[in-house]
Structure 1
Amino acid sequence: MGGTIIHWLLEFAFFYPLSMSLIWMSGGLIYFFRWERNEPLRVTPPELPDYPFVTLIVPCHNEGAHVRETIAHLSGQRYPAFEIIAVNDGSTDDTGAQLDQLTREVSNLRVIHLASNQGKAMGLRMAALASRGDYFVCIDGDALLDEYATHWLMYHMNDGSRVAAVTGNPRIRNRSTLLGKLQVGEFSSIIGLIKRAQRVYGRIFTVSGVIAAFRKSALHDVGYWNTDMVTEDIDISWRLQMRHWDIRYEPNALCWILMPETVRGLWKQRLRWAQGGSEVLLRYSRLLMRWRQRRMWPVALEYLLSLLWAYDMAAIFTLWIVGKFIELPPALYVETLLPHWHGVVLGATCLIQFLVSLIVDRRYETRVGRNYYWMIWYPLIYWVLNTATSIVAFPKALLKRKGTKAVWVSPDRGIR
């Protein structure tokens, strides 16, 4: 029995990441050859049959260092009909004062002030209720939106009445450290490739909270953003798709963002992401059992398997540590954590995935390939980090009381 258990632990630890990498690469390549390969690289996006009024929403909490630059990029959108709503969500710095000053400089900017920290979801709700547009483009308070991003996002909204949301293509701004360089590759080879593959296979795990467009009627159908979910973007994505709305990915909709460049900041961010995934899995597990939700099964199964893989790796590591101090049965003894041929295969597959994704992504950032060299460190740093955060996050999600409001915690914006 013991031999069977340790055998399956090791086999799953090897075959899960190998299989997912192959699935992501195949899906990403299908997306590329179907939608991107024959699309000419335009200086400007294609003409739209209609240009409906759009509300650009930016919820802010202690974004005084970035909000002026963010609003400048929003006001510079090449889309012909839009307004900007900024929500000052209980900031304790000068965010509110700067936004009030900006209303005198930017004619189509409106500001909503909340007296206390209510959380990003509440800020988005308030802006949606105050909006004049039937479509929203939502970004973070430190993000810089490409001048044609709104145009590209609305391209999909014009394409079908069941398109509820379109997620854009976040690009990393801060690249001065190893963690920054690794995240450039991660957003291309992991996040971008996964979104392409999921778009091909039918359902997307989540829109990017830092840049996403929404149809107001779809949000109204599901009750807008929940204020008690630690990641409102994952939650709204699942609820929209469980109501059979469509979510798409648009790589041309670029948005430049700041990311953590310290281990502590990265840990907090990834722990929140992992907890958010666990929360939606736990909350909607019963609904997912229904036959009508079958198109969500691959997304839910993928996340569940990633969670099991994290605990599988923890079990292997624990057996290895225990075996150094206690004599275990041979069937449970893990001799070493150093990679053998399994590790070579996984490493080679990982590098091929990085290469494929960076070649595809060069359409949107020509010099992104220079980060390929640094990606050899990705498995060592990020696989360990994501495994640890998944293990810690699941009990947090399990023990969290429903209805507990998720409020802002100022994130690490990178080394300045």
Structure 2
Amino acid sequence: MTTNLNTDLENDHILHELALIIPAHNEENDLPKTLQSISKQTVKPGLVVVVADNCSDRTVEIAKAFNVTVVETIDNKHKKAGALNYGWNMVNDYEYVATLDADTILEEEDFIEKLLAQLKSDPNVAGIMPRYTVQHSNLLERMQMLEFASTTLELLRRGCHTHTLGGQFSLFRNEILKEIKLSYGVWSHDSVVEDMELTVRLWKRGYRCAVSSDTRAAAGGMFTLMGLWSQRRKWEEGILRILFENKIEKFLYLPYLRTVSSVFDLWMRFILLSMCFVNFNYIWLWLITIITSIDYKAIYKAPDIENRWKNMLLSTCFFEFYTFHILCVKLVSLFRIIERKTDDLWKKQHIAEKSKSKSLPVAYCVLVLLLMLVFASVITIPALILQVSVVVLVIRFIYRLTRSDSGYMP
């Protein structure tokens, strides 16, 4: 069902060349803030489409209250990708298409104006995204915000290129989307990271995918361990599948680098456990691991500037637990791929977001820790390997502190 209404979003500053698609599944709590952030823009899309995907709450009612175009999917079995394609097939006549998650807020009032101007300035750029941060009201969401700051700063340092035009908000040239579209739409039904899969196709066609250094969108974070575990299971498994399916490409350097870095981080913790079985006095080396694993420079420059020293302290105290949780997710995802197991990871994430249980992530983390303890107790690590590993840690730490940011803020 489609509802076309004259809207609050229509005024003298309409971009009739731009359509905005918002896929929404039971987003009655977050959608109002998202639509309000659009209504405050200096220039507004010519069409805003909220794709209500199998909603059982008041999402449709709330969207209609903002007088945007609302469509309800029928028998969509392809989750977010299906909802995006449903919306995209309505906007073929538009020159530019943007996608926005229903829980993401555009921080600046000239957000769309700036982003569109940057996209228009380079015809070889197929799509552009803003810097991302995470709305944070608890410690877990704060850790995600700091993690996003580190990732964003790394992308900006590397020439403002990205391997993933994130689903939180991305802006595309529609003619290029038509060029690479699949038989049923633009976003693949076969990947749980449809945004990364699309970006890879764009890079392979010779187009660039960019990050804006002066616009920011605040995405909704996972506020429970269970929600974070399920979200990252989906992300990590999808990313690993794409890395396995593609040869080593320059534009995929960051996910490759982060995968190698994760292996090294797990290896370092295993070495320390092994050394502690030989001599518990080595436990102090764990402090070196913690300190050198944290990107303090990115944390210092994170969006929550008024609490930067609080963020530095919290990172030192809690980031090891957060990091180990993420490392366990990566390990479990890798084993699931090796086992050739496929799960409905979108469904698991939706269920997990409503659950306050910590049993699954805690159980997996304890299992990984126990396995590390068992192997560490029977394997003796030569002192030379420990020394080399510590040197690598220190070099990585010094590099993170001294590398140039070119004035960028995450």
State the TM-score, normalized to the length of structure 2. Answer: 0.71
Q: Which residue of 2 is the match for residue 296 of structure 1?
A: 251
Match 2:116 to one of 146, 154, 159: 154
Following superposition of structure 1 onto structure 2, how do residues 332-371 of structure 1 map, counting pairs within 5 Å? 338-340=283-285, 343-344=287-288, 346-350=289-293, 353-354=295-296, 356-361=297-302, 366-369=305-308, 370-371=310-311
2:180 partner amino acid: V
Determine helix, strand or coil for the equivalent of 2:283. Answer: coil
Q: Which residue of 2 is the match for residue 112 of structure 1?
A: 71
Name which of structure 1's ranges 215-224 and 307-316 shifts more when overlaid on structure 2: 307-316
**Shift in Å at residue 185 of structure 1?**
2.1
Match 2:323 to one of 383, 398, 406: 383
Following superposition of structure 1 onto structure 2, how do residues 223-234 of structure 1 map, counting pairs within 5 Å? 223=181, 224-234=186-196
Following superposition of structure 1 onto structure 2, how do residues 246-325 of structure 1 map, counting pairs within 5 Å? 246-285=208-247, 288=248, 293=249, 295-296=250-251, 298-299=253-254, 301-306=256-261, 308-309=263-264, 312=267, 316=271, 320=274
Following superposition of structure 1 onto structure 2, how do residues 111-190 of structure 1 map, counting pairs within 5 Å? 111-117=70-76, 118-131=78-91, 132-146=93-107, 147-175=109-137, 177-188=138-149, 190=150
| Distance (whole Å) between structure 2 residues aligned to residue 413 and residue 236 of structure 1 | 29
Determine helix, strand or coil for the equivalent of 1:206. Answer: coil
- 2:57 equivalent to 1:93: yes
What are structure 1's unaligned runs of at least 5 residues? Answer: 1-49, 325-332
Q: Percent identity?
A: 19
| Distance (whole Å) between structure 1 residues aligned to residue 262 and residue 180 of structure 2 | 27
| Distance (whole Å) between structure 2 residues aligned to residue 226 and residue 412 of structure 1 | 24
Q: Do the aligned partners of residues 145 and 385 (structure 1) sit closer, same or farther apart at CA in structure 2, a change above 3 Å counting?
A: same
Determine helix, strand or coil for the equivalent of 1:367. Answer: helix
How many residues end up aligned between the 2 structures? Answer: 333
- 2:151 equivalent to 1:191: yes
Q: Do the aligned partners of residues 396 and 374 (structure 1) sit closer, same or farther apart at CA in structure 2, a change above 3 Å counting?
A: same
| Distance (whole Å) between structure 2 residues aligned to residue 334 and residue 228 of structure 1 | 49
Q: Which residue of 1 is the match for residue 353 of structure 2?
A: 412
1:66 partner amino acid: D
| Distance (whole Å) between structure 1 residues aligned to residue 34 and residue 355 of structure 2 | 17
Q: Which residue of 2 is the match for residue 215 of structure 1?
A: 173
Q: Which residue of 2 is the match for residue 11 of structure 1?
A: none
Q: Does the CA contact (< 8 Å) of 2:106 and 2:218 recur in 1?
A: yes
Following superposition of structure 1 onto structure 2, how do residues 238-253 of structure 1 map, counting pairs within 5 Å? 238-253=200-215
**Shift in Å at residue 399 of structure 1?**
4.7
What are structure 2's unaligned runs of at least 5 residues? Answer: 1-13, 357-410
| Distance (whole Å) between structure 1 residues aligned to residue 354 and residue 306 of structure 2 | 23
| Distance (whole Å) between structure 2 residues aligned to residue 259 and residue 81 of structure 1 | 26
Q: Do the aligned partners of residues 199 and 400 (structure 1) sit closer, same or farther apart at CA in structure 2, a change above 3 Å counting?
A: farther
Q: Do the aligned partners of residues 129 and 387 (structure 1) sit closer, same or farther apart at CA in structure 2, a change above 3 Å counting?
A: same
| Distance (whole Å) between structure 2 residues aligned to residue 130 and residue 152 of structure 1 | 25
Q: Which residue of 1 is the match for residue 35 of structure 2?
A: 71
2:79 partner amino acid: G
State the TM-score, normalized to the length of structure 1. Answer: 0.70
| Distance (whole Å) between structure 2 residues aligned to residue 61 and residue 337 of structure 1 | 50
Q: Does the CA contact (< 8 Å) of 1:143 and 1:210 recur in 2?
A: yes
Q: Which residue of 2 is the match for residue 28 of structure 1?
A: none
Q: Do the aligned partners of residues 343 and 207 (structure 1) sit closer, same or farther apart at CA in structure 2, a change above 3 Å counting?
A: farther
Moved over 6 A (4+): 333-337
Q: Do the aligned partners of residues 297 and 259 (structure 1) sit closer, same or farther apart at CA in structure 2, a change above 3 Å counting?
A: closer
Q: Does the CA contact (< 8 Å) of 2:23 and 2:102 recur in 1?
A: yes
Q: Do the aligned partners of residues 273 and 412 (structure 1) sit closer, same or farther apart at CA in structure 2, a change above 3 Å counting?
A: same
| Distance (whole Å) between structure 2 residues aligned to residue 110 and residue 183 of structure 1 | 32
